[in-house]
Amino acid sequence: MLATTELFAIVTLLVVGLLGVMALLVVYVARIVKHVKELAEPLQALARQGQQSAAGPQKA
């Protein structure tokens, strides 16, 4: 049977490890989202341009 101190140490290491994995996951997802937004900018510009040309000439 493990002593209370050993159990506490094991649980602490597990919790710290899980927090580290979660932090890495957050950073990884944030980088993916940033990359996708950068890729989407030209597509959004093309979509806006297409909507303007489909709407016809604008009267000022």
CA gap 18, 26 in Å, rounded? 12
**Does the residue 56 lie in any domain?**
no
**Does the residue 12 lie in any domain?**
no
Q: How many domains does the chain have?
A: 1
**Does the residue 57 lie in any domain?**
no
Confidence bin at 60 (pLDDT 50/70/90): low
pLDDT in tens, 7-50: 999 999 999 999 999 999 999 999 999 999 999 888 888 888 88
Confidence bin at 58 (pLDDT 50/70/90): low
What are the CA-CA distances from residue 44 to residues 29, 34, 36, 39, 50 (Å)?
Answer: 22, 15, 12, 9, 10
Tell me, yes or no, if the pTM score tops 0.85.
no
Domain holding 32, by residue range, is 20-48
**Does the residue 28 lie in any domain?**
yes
**Does the residue 30 lie in any domain?**
yes
**Does the residue 27 lie in any domain?**
yes
**Does the residue 25 lie in any domain?**
yes
